[in-house]
Structure 1
Amino acid sequence: MKKEEILHIIKNKISAKIQTFENLIAETRASSNDTKSSMGDKYETGREMLQQEINNIQRQLNEVLNQQGFLHKLSTETCSKVQNGALVKTDKGLFYISASVGEIIIENKKIMTISSESPLAKEMFGKKESETFIINKVTQTIEKIW
């Protein structure tokens, strides 16, 4: 498994999310400018709703920017135990501990990207090959760590 390739795909997905959020903020701000009229209270209410929407999108953008910063710190070196940046094969699947962007497919293999804050990652952290852990009453064995 090439962790560099996996990390590259994840970074591209995160960059695309950032671009989407930035575009949404710009579009929402533009529509806020278009709502100006002499309607008084209705104008203020609409403007406030748009500002709340911008704040919500900005919060989501900040989360994705934090993920991007985290990704830049990840090493693609082989790991001897489960940690940030580890690619872990269990008897139930392949997991890459980085930023959660869902499932990616490389070399016809499904890899679930999971956050280090996820319950699954927390259960695996520090474990080595051949060790087991239990999550949601399901026992999993770590077969390989890259």
Structure 2
Amino acid sequence: MNKQEIINIIKGKLADKSQYFENLIAETRASNNDTKSSMGDKYETGREMLQQEINNLQRQLNEVLNQQAVLQKITSDASEKVQNGALVKTNKGLFYVSVSMGEIVFDNQKVMTVSAESPLVKAMFGKKMGEGFTINNISQSIENIW
């Protein structure tokens, strides 16, 4: 398994999300400037709502930037145990411990990208190939780690 290609796919998705939020913030700020008027409270309420939307988008952008920072620290080196950067195959699926981006497709296989903070990763963290763990009353065994 080429983990560097998986990292590159995730980096691309994060870059797209970052650009998306930056564009939305710019558009929302532009529309905020268009609503300046001396018409009174109705427009002040509208501008406040737009500002809250900008703040919400900024929070989401900051989360993407934090995910990018976490991903920068992850290497494609082989892993012997479940840790950040490990690609883990269990009897239930394939998981890449990095940032939570959901499902990606790599080499015609579904790979779930999961954060080290997720309950699943916490349950299997530090385990080695052949070991098992249980989460939500479902037992899984680790078949391989890259």
Q: Secondary structure at the match of 1:75?
A: coil
**Are 1:94 and 2:117 matched, yes or no?**
no
Deviation at 1:38, TM superposition (A): 2.2
- Alpha-carbon distance in structure 1 between the residues aligned to 2:107 and 2:57: 35
Alignment correspondent of 1:125:
125
Provide the aligned length of Structure 1 versus Structure 2.
146
Amino acid at match of 1:97: V
Alignment correspondent of 1:106:
106
Q: Secondary structure at the match of 1:79?
A: coil
**Are 1:21 and 2:21 matched, yes or no?**
yes
Q: After superposition, where does 1:1-146 map in structure 2 within 5 Å?
A: 1-146=1-146
Q: Which runs of 4+ in 1 moved over 6 A?
A: none
- Alpha-carbon distance in structure 2 between the residues aligned to 1:70 and 1:92: 26
- Alpha-carbon distance in structure 2 between the residues aligned to 1:124 and 1:3: 19
Q: Secondary structure at the match of 1:129?
A: coil
- Alpha-carbon distance in structure 2 between the residues aligned to 1:138 and 1:88: 17
Amino acid at match of 2:5: E
Deviation at 1:40, TM superposition (A): 0.9
Q: Secondary structure at the match of 1:60?
A: helix
Q: Secondary structure at the match of 1:44?
A: helix
Amino acid at match of 2:78: T
- Alpha-carbon distance in structure 1 between the residues aligned to 2:21 and 2:124: 32
Q: Secondary structure at the match of 2:9?
A: helix
RMSD over aligned Cα atoms:
0.6
TM-score (ref. length: structure 2):
0.98
Deviation at 1:100, TM superposition (A): 1.1
Unaligned 5+ runs, structure 1: none
Q: Secondary structure at the match of 1:144?
A: strand
